[in-house]
């Protein structure tokens, strides 16, 4: 584990290196969860097996022991500080990703951070029961390939496919625990065909 200083306190990086890595995948956690969420662990495993070094990023509020998430601006600033740190240590292409709130951070910062792809696990399209408060503008922000892996019964909604955006629906809800095999397969297939040049 490595700590990276940000303007909002240290972020903590947990890294798993792939042999002859082709790229680095950064993964952020959900608002109230951590980097040991089952979908993040599953995605990490298949990514490393597929030749991607994975860096799971704990936001400063979690490192400080708080459960309530920081405001979006603080999350984004910390994420970009981590990206800047990694750019100083590797010349490999960077992919951004995360689950739920972490997927939102990855989308919002894909362009500024120079990501070559974005992996969204359980992207929260809207708060439960509030479809009028959609966040689809965040999901539409990246100009690079995007994969969304979503539960069919996710109370946070389900996004539609769009140009440059693939959506894979799995049985289950927001946790993505019901079909870990399907999640692994979707992530592995997408990473295998992702253009990294």
Instruction: Write out the DSSP string of 23-80.
Output: EEEEEE--SS--TT-HHHHHHHHHHHHTTEEEEEEE-HHHHTT--SPPPHHHHHHHHH
pTM for the model: 0.96
The tens-digit pLDDT sequence of the chain (197 residues) is 899 999 999 999 999 999 999 999 999 999 988 999 999 999 999 999 999 999 999 999 999 999 888 999 999 999 999 999 999 999 999 999 999 999 999 999 999 999 999 999 999 999 998 989 999 999 999 999 999 999 999 999 999 999 999 999 999 999 999 999 999 999 999 999 999 86
Helix, coil or strand: residue 119: strand
- Residue 131: how many other CB atoms lie within 10 Å: 11
């Amino acid at each position: 584990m490595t700590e990276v200083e940000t303007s909002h306190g240290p972020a903590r990086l947990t890294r798993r290196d792939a042999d002859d890595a082709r790229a680095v995948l950064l993964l952020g956690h959900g608002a109230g969860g951590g980097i040991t969420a089952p979908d993040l662990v599953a995605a990490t495993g298949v990514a490393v097996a597929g030749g991607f070094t994975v860096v799971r990023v704990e936001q400063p509020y979690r490192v400080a022991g708080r459960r309530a998430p920081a405001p979006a601006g603080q999350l984004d600033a910390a994420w970009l500080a981590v990206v800047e740190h990694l750019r100083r240590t590797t010349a490999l292409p960077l992919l951004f990703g995360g689950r739920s709130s972490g997927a939102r951070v990855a989308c919002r910062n894909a362009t500024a951070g120079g990501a070559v792809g974005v992996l969204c696990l359980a992207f929260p399209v809207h708060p439960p029961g509030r479809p009028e408060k959609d966040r689809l503008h965040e999901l539409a922000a990246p100009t690079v390939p995007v994969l969304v892996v979503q539960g069919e019964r996710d109370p946070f909604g389900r996004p539609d496919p769009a140009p440059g955006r693939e959506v894979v629906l799995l049985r289950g809800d927001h946790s993505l625990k019901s079909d870990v095999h399907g999640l692994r397969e979707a992530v592995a297939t997408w990473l295998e065909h992702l253009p990294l040049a």
